[in-house]
Amino acid sequence: MDILIIDDDAVDRMSAIRTLRKSELALDRIDQSDTAAEGIRLASEHNYDVILLDYQIPPSNGIEILREIRGGNDYSTAIVMLSHSNDERLALACVEAGAQDFIMKSEVTSSRLKRAILISQERHSLEQEVRSSHDQLRYIAERDSLTGLRNRYFFDETLRDAVTRNSRTGEQLVLLLLDLDNFKKVNDVLGHQAGDRLLQEIARRLEQPIRESDKLCRLGGDEFAILVYDLPQLEHVRLLVTRIFKSLEKPLIIHGQTVEVTVSIGVATYPLCATDATGLMKCADVAMYRAKELGRNRVQYYSVDFHEKMVSRMQLEFDLKQAIKGDQLTLFFQPQLDTHSEQLVGVEALIRWQHHTLGMIQPDEFIPIAEESDLIIDIGRWVIEAACRQFSQWVETAQGTHICFSIAVNLSARQLKDHALSEFLQRCLAQHNIPADLVELELTESHLENSLSAVEMLNSLSATGVRLSLDDFGTGYSSLSHLSQFPFSILKIDKSFVQSGDDKQQRTLLKAICAFAHSLGYETVAEGIETEEQKQLCQSLNVNRLQGYLFSQPISAESFENNWLQSVV
């Protein structure tokens, strides 16, 4: 057994040594120190089994020495405090500070000292077991079970501590938020096990470009964070980002499949962007969102202007939720005319939002927000029901006269994930007594997903008897094989082809599109007709229907009734 005695009184040290030798303990080494500094040095250099520490060692006291030894020796040694005082409060304070026992020097006998040392060692052993269990539990609590990286709990605690520390030191702190691009497709196509394997490999790669002092965490899902300390220059952040992109450059092989991974990164710095942990996190999140918006696979550094836009967007999303409940949404209608007779043959229902303070908001502003937040499901159903209800009223207005025009409703690709959409559509048609063949559902070509679930949903909608129209045709990636998978019967030619009719190449493309559509039996609709020349061009190409400002801009239901409905009833 190795023992260290720290006591400034030589007589007390010699007395303790004599008592130890009478105690029948297996003593291998007894070291002495008459100063606090030397005692602390010896304790740090050698792993003693027990330290006998005098409470009074000028200029320090035993508790101060005890705490310093504990801090530097990582609780690896049992410590027994010795004192001439019989103050119980002093004894309690020593135990609370980390001592295993407290003995008055006047009570030191060989048996008493032996018992105190053995009990202290046992207490210390139990302490170590508790500490080890605590460390294991803490490790589990702070680790992501999938990747082995630090988790969200560790990140939140570390970020708060780092901001507090850096507020005192004045050092900069850099936060990088990373989000994998299109990770959901990996789960959808290859399965969740492949997705998990991908995250593990990404975590391994992200550890390569960072320094040992940096903290890499997985926040959840496919989102990671890196805390970067004490960078000498912010320019080094750009170099770190470059290394991160480089580490992910090589494709991964997951379950035998080659997967290319890109990442969007948002960067915010303390105290330049924010002065607290919550604010810094928000800034990095805003920057990361901006990187996604700009096309993914890029880094974006936080800016105040974009943050204000994000705050405005969040407010608009909140207002949109209220608008659905508060009857702020309305439909406008734009006529579609037969190309040759120029008689009304159809009408497109277009959603508008009458905001309580901002006035009329166009769909280009709020539909993307609705799609990102999944509000599009509720809005899409509202449009279908409102269009059916309005069309039913027009049928009643006709008073038995045969309605010879159809109504078209726009459908978001996100609505194809609404598995009950077909049943909802059938209920609306039945409730309002509308023939299904007079209803058209328009889906934008560029947003169309070529997936099995999308094909199944479109087939299900087509089975209700409604007609399906492919909107903005020519701007997406349709091919003959692509189109043949979907039950579309109408192709709506994008206005860019019609309005660029003076351009020889665009005119040739428009002719090719019309010839292609007619040869395969598709009905065609040309949108964006604004001039007589554009109308005549479409007439010469035998486009079936015309739509555009030359005939009418989108108008309210009342205006449509007064200006158009009378001509067909």
| Per-residue pLDDT reduced to its tens digit, 368-427 | 888 877 789 999 999 999 999 999 988 887 665 667 899 999 998 888 888 899 999 999
Q: Which residues contact 60 (CB under 8 A, 6 or more apart)?
A: 36
Kindly state the tokens that stand for 477. Answer: 């990636």
For the beta carbon of residue 400, count every other beta carbon within 10 angstroms: 7
Per-residue pLDDT of 110-145, as tens digits, reads 888 788 788 777 777 777 777 767 667 776 778 888
* Predicted local confidence at residue 315, as pLDDT: 87
Burial string for 89-108 (b: 16+ CB within 10 Å, else e) reads ebbebbeebbbbbbbebeeb
Kindly state the tokens that stand for 454. Answer: 């999308």
Distance from the first to the final alpha carbon of the chain = 109
* Predicted local confidence at residue 395, as pLDDT: 82
Q: Which of 263, 262, 279 is nearest to 271 (CA)?
A: 279
Amino acid at 536: Q
Kindly state the tokens that stand for 346. Answer: 């159809």
CA 535-538-544 angle, 5° bins: 110
Q: Is 41 helix (H, G, I), strand (E, B) or coil?
A: helix
Q: What is the DSSP letter of 55?
A: S
* Predicted local confidence at residue 169, as pLDDT: 77
Report CA dihedral (110, 114, 117, 123) to the nearest 10 degrees: -140
Burial (CB count <10 Å: 0-12, 13-18, 19+), residue 360 = exposed
Q: Which residues contact 181 (CB under 8 A, 6 or more apart)?
A: 261, 262, 263, 264, 292, 296, 297
Helices (H), 149-265: 152-169, 183-190, 192-206, 235-247
φ, ψ for residue 523, nearest 5 deg: -80, 145
pTM of the model: 0.58
Secondary-structure percent of the chain, ordered helix, strand, coil, rounded to 5 = 50, 20, 30
Counts of helices then strands in the chain (DSSP H, E): 20, 23
Cα gap 190→252, rounded to integer Å: 13
Task: Indicate if the alpha-carbon torsion angle 526, 529, 535, 537 is positive or negative.
Answer: negative
Specify whether the CB–CB gap between 12 and 60 falls below 8 A. Answer: no
* Predicted local confidence at residue 73, as pLDDT: 46
Q: Which of 392, 371, 375 is nearest to 439 (CA)?
A: 392
Cα gap 315→313, rounded to integer Å: 5
Report the chain (569 residues): mean pLDDT per 10 consecutive residues.
Answer: 89 88 86 89 86 84 83 66 86 84 83 80 75 70 88 91 83 91 85 90 93 91 91 74 91 87 91 89 92 88 74 85 88 95 94 90 88 86 95 79 84 88 95 93 77 82 94 68 81 88 81 90 94 93 95 94 76
Q: Which of 302, 236, 235 is nearest to 265 (CA)?
A: 302
| 399 backbone φψ class: left, alpha, beta (φ>0; ψ -120 to 50) | left
Kindly state the tokens that stand for 167. Answer: 């507020």
